[in-house]
Every structure is written in structure tokens, then in C-alpha cells.
Amino acid sequence: MIRCLFHSTIQDFCKMSPKTLLGTFISNYHGCSITTTNEAWLSEIEIMQNVLLLWRDENGYVIFEYDIPRLGKRIDVVLLLRGLIFCIEFKIGEKNVLQSNIEQVLDYALDLKNFHLLSQNRTIVPILVPTKLDTSSNVFVSSVYDDSIYNPLVTGVTGLQQLISNVFIHSGALNEDPSLGADWIISPYSPTPTIIEAAKKLYENHSVEDITRHEADKVSTDKTIEYILGVIRKSRDNRQKSICFVTGVPGAGKTLVGLDVAVKQSYQDGNEFIEDEGAVYLYFHSILMLQCGMRKLENITQLY
């Protein structure tokens, strides 16, 4: 199932009339389309057609309103060009750079990197476009987390084409790269289960085997769990106090690690509960969100 309202090659997109494209958007939108939404779509179409004229003869793809199931949102525009993935979020009529909007476009990039199969080994560039902003980012920094995600960039409409060109120069993407295309749109998307889904499985099956199986590729918790259990044993034997911090992107399985550690510590030798060494699992939402918040704060400080 195609998870977007429209997708095509850049060449075909630039040839179509904005009103025809808008009609396609409205036809593919499964909901009640309102005037303000239609006006925003038309503006985005016209902006992207002007921006992409520079690359209209290159192999590239443009995708509008790409669905992100885990977040329950859609990316305004995904641009696949020269092997890079651009996540572009428009704020039509805005002239201010809001933190919430920066977090939004960063969330899109993180979600693609960690749960979208054909994005995992690619460089992802999140761009926020408050259309009336008269400045543009001039600092290009890849994340310190070595995950091939650029720190979010910000530009007004007038600087968007130049900003994309500058990213190509900074990343060394100076030639055509047809490796990203239509297959990207139907790539497997596999988020890990939420805390509610995990808890339901735990109590229904009286086992943690199902919830420790992660659907997101390259996410393995076994070593983390064994390490924490080892810290518990060492602390008990040496009469020490220890604290472990498990970090990761939202949905990577941090909560599930905690659940599995608690159960394995409490039932070490089978199905019998060990009262003297049992573990208690406490879930603090604000603490878990702190990791994501720190990542976003770091990126916000390097916007310009």
C-alpha cells in the first residue's frame, strides 16, 4: 500500500500543472479536505516545482505527505536526490522558528533512520521551512551520534534551493545517484511495540519472549540485558549500589529492556518467584523522554 498522497520522478513532477497535482492530492486524501489544507498543498507544490527546476533532468524522486505510522503524522515532502533523503516540513505563512517545529522535523528523520528499512544506511537531512523567514542555515553539521542524520536546517522559501545545493557540496553528493527511487516508498516500516502493547503481551502470555523480539532492524537488546543483570549480581556480591542508564531513540526498546531485566531477575531459575532478589519495574515517562529532549536541544543550539 502506497503511504503517500503523491509521488513521482522529479522530471514528471516539474511538467505537471499545480492544479492537476492538487486534484490528485485531494483525490488520494482519505478524509475531509478543507480550504486551508488545499491552499497549503498548492503552495508547497509551487514552491517545490520552482526549487527542483535546477535538478529536473536528474534521477530523483519527490514524495508528498508520506505517512509515518508510529507518529501518526505525515512528512510534507520527502526528496530523494543524489543518494540523500531530505525531510522537508513547511510552515506556510510562518516567519518564526519554533522549537516544536524543529522537534517535529527531527522526529521524522529519526523515525526514518531507525524504522524505515531503505533509510537506515542513508544520510538524512531534515529541513524546516517557515515560508516567510528571510534567513537560512549556513552551518552544516552531522549528528555527534554518528547516525548520518544532519542537525536540522532552517530556511525560508527563497533560500531552499541554495540550501539543498549547499548540502550536496558539504556531503560530497556532486553526481547523480539513481539508487533511491520508487522502492523507497514501499520499504518495510517496522517500529517496536509501545509500552501498552508490550504490557498486554506480558500479562496475556506470562512470558517476555514475545516483547523482547524487536521488529526494528539492527536493534538487539540481549547484550544490554545480560550486562545489567551482571551489574546486579556484582552489586549484590560486593554490597554496592549501582545505577545503569540505557539510552536509545524513541521506540528502540529501552522500556522492553527494563521489563525483561525485571522478570529475569525475579525468576532466575524458572517459574518460581525469588522473593529476596525480586525486581520492581517502575515506569517514569518524563525520564524516558529526557534522552530525546537532550538530543533535540543539542540540535537546536546548532541551527545557525
Domain boundaries, given as residue ranges, for the chain: 6-189, 195-292
For 131-171, the pLDDT digits (tens) are: 999 999 999 987 777 789 999 999 999 999 999 999 999 99
Give the rounded distance of the alpha carbon of 103 from its chain centre. 10
Confidence of residue 266 (pLDDT cuts 50, 70, 90): confident
**pLDDT range class, residue 261, cuts 50, 70, 90:** confident
Positive or negative: CA dihedral 185, 187, 107, 193: positive
Distances (CA, A) of 78 to 44, 84, 86, 88, 262: 12, 10, 6, 6, 41
Give SS3 for 127: strand
Share of the chain above pLDDT 90, in %: 45
pLDDT winner (highest mean) among 33-37, 201-205, 248-252, 294-298: 33-37
Q: What is the DSSP string of 195-246?
A: HHHHHHHHHHHT-STTTTS--STT---HHHHHHHHHHHHHHHHHT-------
Average pLDDT over residues 278-300: 50
pLDDT(294) > 90: no
Sign of CA dihedral 248, 250, 252, 256: positive
Query: How would residue 262 be classed by pLDDT, with cut points 50, 70 and 90?
Result: confident
Q: What is the pTM of this model?
A: 0.66
The pLDDT of residue 170 is 94
Query: For the segment 66-115, what is each residue's pLDDT rounded down to a tens digit?
Result: 988 777 889 999 999 999 999 999 999 999 999 999 999 999 999 999 88
